[in-house]
Structure 1
Amino acid sequence: VSKDLEEAVASLNSVQFGEEIAKAAALYSERKNIQIFDTYFDKILIQHLAGAMKNYADKDATKLVGMDVDFYNILSVIRGKFWGLQEEQIQDLVVSQTPTAKELLGRMIAAATIKDAFNELSNTKYKSLIPQTENELDAIAEFERAFEMAIYQTAIRSFTKMFSFATIVGITKLTAFEVRNLAAIAFAVEQKIPTEITMSKLILEEE
């Protein structure tokens, strides 16, 4: 059993993800923000997910996974700016993408403010997701929910071609959302959170 974080990181140095874990630990030591670990763990997952999809030609499945990659990259850039990270530190959070996406993310990283970074999406397919609120924390939360709703809707549409690989990916995504919803409901009941607040946080099909 490791005595502290440094010892735990050192013990993981030889594992497959040791380098990313070491980077997360170093950045955490500097910023003292536990979300940095979450972000690097997400990066590991997204890297493998993106790599696995290179072997599949199913356009619908690729679209779903591509949205996950975009979601991770854009949010990582925005969060990195919110945390006050240096440009090279934010760049290290990004999972390799197409030249076009790389250029977009580069502009977002270089933007003077979080609002300016969001506005870089105005000429992309995600322009409708740009938050309008001025408060940075609220804007990030608003964007995150809007993007998750877009992923949810795309997952539902994957059922237009039954028994395709996209359907499998879609079912997996929808199941994950369902688990999150149930966990949120259970927490809300335990904490006696009002129903209307709980419902506003769930990822559900809009009526």
Structure 2
Amino acid sequence: MTFRDLEYVIGKSYGLKGKLFPYTMLEELASSKNLEELVEKLRPTDYGPYVSSLPRPLNPTRIELALRRCLVEVHFDLAMKSKNAGIIQAYFMKYLTSNLKTVLKGKALGKSYEELLELVDLRAEELVKRRDIVVRAMAAKDLAEAVRFLSGTRFSDVASMAMEVYEKEKDLVVFDMAMDKAYFSEVLKEFNKLRFAERKRVREIVAVDIDGYMILAIMRSKLWGLTIAETKRFLLDKAVNIPSDVIDRMVEVGNVTDALRILDETPYKSIIPESSAPDTSIIKALEEAFERLTLNRASEAFLKDIFSVSVPIALLKLKEFEVRNISIIAAGIEEGLSVSRMLQRVVKLQ
């Protein structure tokens, strides 16, 4: 990426960060009497063009998909303006894998093409000309056929792996984990291609993603009772801030509690939850802890790494949190929750 390109994406990222909603705006949105009022309040913002033309009746899912479309187009613009910064493009894969998660989980539950069409927005696939792949999977008669339709794509192996485990465990989370492997494999590959100085700057943001995935994949594998060999199929080539021998030891122990003890030897020892909690609670607590860490690292990037590719990556993460916050509020309005209850669920952007 040329210095001029880097200047553009960094300048654009700072501009977009300045437009992120303050907490007072979230309070204003949460006070909406209904979804129509919520959309009306969003109309003057960058989300306006995306939510204004939504078909009626409004529902939280339609609003969330419209917000995500805005995020997708922001990300695509930054990626196109930084064509030699492959890591920004690698992070774009998240939207593709997100839709595939929805489709595969939907097929596992017997959902039809028409039902799935209400749950996904294919703007990301349209932009990278991959729409047909997802549409074929959506139109499949069942999960096995959907997985076969992914044959020959970069998602083929992880989809097959997920189906195998799902047939034994019946836990839909396996599709999340498998698709995240494909996504983070791409991020890790592009991270390793960065020059040493740039890799050092972006390391702390990427490490939370890669290491977080590795730790959670190991923990969930313990929960499902997978063998060492089965667990390793879900893992990436390596972590960023965790030595390979530590990962190996975590894989080899027999349960979540023992793996948690080894985690105490890593840079993530400060986020280790109470080991006496049930395994599912430990995993949920770890997931939430890594999300908070992601938020902190993204916020810090704007102060520490002013001329780094970490800035646009950080912006996209903060924007994603914002989309989630608004989606939480939309769902809360639909459920009839109080303003205070909705605001307890949102994440304060720093």
Fold match by TM threshold 0.5: yes
Gaps of 5+ in 2: 1-138
Secondary structure, counterpart of 1:128 in structure 2: helix
Match of 2:279 among 133, 136, 139: 136
Where in structure 2 are the equivalents of 1:139-154 lying within 5 Å?
139-154=282-297
Q: Which amino acid in the other structure matches residue 327 of structure 2?
A: A
Residues 114 and 98 of structure 1, relative CA distance in 2, 3 Å threshold? closer
Q: Does 1:30 align with 2:168?
A: yes
Equivalent residue, structure 2, for 1:114? 256
Alignment RMSD (CA, Å) = 2.1
Match of 2:233 among 92, 113, 137: 92
Residues 95 and 193 of structure 1, relative CA distance in 2, 3 Å threshold? farther
Question: Deviations 1:31-71 (Å, cap 9, x if unpaired)?
Answer: 22111111111111100011111222322212211210001
Residues 140 and 21 of structure 1, relative CA distance in 2, 3 Å threshold? same
Alpha-carbon separation, structure 1, partners of 2:228 and 2:339: 41
Check conservation: 2:250, 2:259, Cα contact below 8 A: yes
Alpha-carbon separation, structure 2, partners of 1:174 and 1:11: 34
Equivalent residue, structure 2, for 1:8? 146
Q: Does 1:62 align with 2:232?
A: no
Check conservation: 2:177, 2:217, Cα contact below 8 A: yes
**Larger-Rg structure:** 2
Check conservation: 1:50, 1:66, Cα contact below 8 A: no
Alpha-carbon separation, structure 2, partners of 1:196 and 1:88: 47
Equivalent residue, structure 1, for 2:120? none
Equivalent residue, structure 2, for 1:41? 179
Residues 83 and 149 of structure 1, relative CA distance in 2, 3 Å threshold? same
Gaps of 5+ in 1: none
Alpha-carbon separation, structure 1, partners of 2:169 and 2:325: 31
Q: Does 1:173 align with 2:317?
A: yes
Secondary structure, counterpart of 1:13 in structure 2: coil
- Total equivalences in the alignment: 206
Equivalent residue, structure 1, for 2:298? 155
> Which one scores higher on RCO, CA 8 angstroms, separation ≥ 6?
2
Check conservation: 2:202, 2:309, Cα contact below 8 A: yes
Cα distance, 1:142 vs structure 2: 1.4
Q: Report which stretch shifted further, 95-104 or 184-193.
A: 95-104
Residues 98 and 150 of structure 1, relative CA distance in 2, 3 Å threshold? closer
Question: Deviations 1:71-102 (Å, cap 9, x if unpaired)?
Answer: 11101111111122222211111111159532
Alpha-carbon separation, structure 1, partners of 2:220 and 2:160: 20
Check conservation: 1:131, 1:142, Cα contact below 8 A: yes
